[in-house]
Each structure stands twice: as C-alpha cells, then as structure tokens.
Structure 1
Amino acid sequence: MLSHHDRTELEKIERNLELSDPDLAAALRDGKRPKSRALRSALLIVFAITAVTLLVLGLVLPDPGVTLCGILTLTGTVWTHVARHRI
C-alpha cells in the first residue's frame, strides 16, 4: 500500500504527463504501446539504402529490371518520408 505522500507524488506525475504528452498518457492509461517512430525511421533508412544499391547495380549490370526495382523502391521511400512529415 502506498503512503499518502507517495499517492500525492504519483498524482502530480500523472497530471504533468497529461499536460506534457497526452498521447503517451492515453496509451499508458489504455494499456497500449505508443507507436514507435524509431522503428519506422530505421525501416525507411533500410529501404533507402536498398533503393540506392539497386540503382547502382542497375547502372553496372545490363538488367533494366534491377534499375526499375531501384526506382520503384526509391519512389516508395520518398513518398513515405514526405507523407510521414506532413502529418
């Protein structure tokens, strides 16, 4: 059981969290995990590296399919990056 002082301190922390980050407070209250932006950023970086690698390989190899895959991957990566920053 928490003491009166501990409960008061927890209530202060809860109010401060509500004011500073209401999305995180709602996620914690509902028991849901907040969306991870780090994972999304890491995936975008991996797709960008893959796209550039495919484009370079497409220039070296005489296969236009590799270049097309690189262009499509790069287009999707840029589109996702731009859409993410508009929100």
Structure 2
Amino acid sequence: MGSRKRTYDAEFREGAVRSVTETGKPIPEVAEEFGVHPETLHSWVSRAKRNGSPSSDTPRARPFSRDPEPSAPRRPDARRRRWTPP
C-alpha cells in the first residue's frame, strides 16, 4: 500500500506556482489540473513566496549594506517587565 515518491522538475513546479499566483485560482483547483496533491502545491507556493523559487530551500540573499540604518531603541519586554539591552 506504499506510494512512490514523485519528483518534479523546476520548470513544472514554477509553472504550477505561476498558475496559482497569476490567475488567482485556488490551490486545490490548480493542483488537480497539474495532477499533484494540494499540500504539495501549497508547499511550493509558500517556498516561492519565501525564497523566490519553488525549487529552492535557501532564502534569497539580501543586499549587503555597509552602513546599516540605526535601529530604534528596544521596547521593554512585556512578559519580563524589564528593558532588554540594545
């Protein structure tokens, strides 16, 4: 009763994700069209939003800044009722 794990190439994943994001169709509908499980397509869409690609598990690199903007002073931690160090 075991099922074989299927692998999908990057082009197929990107096409399925593009179909969800560009058409606005619900994930279950697109999943049925592409013949994949809705949870699989949901994970591809989530990964694409987070990392920029449905095939990549590594986040997009952020641009490097030598002189970061000064951060605002921290607020007191509500649970501890004390100031956290900057």
TM-score of the superposition, structure 1-length normalised?
0.29
TM-score of the superposition, structure 2-length normalised?
0.29
Larger Rg: 1
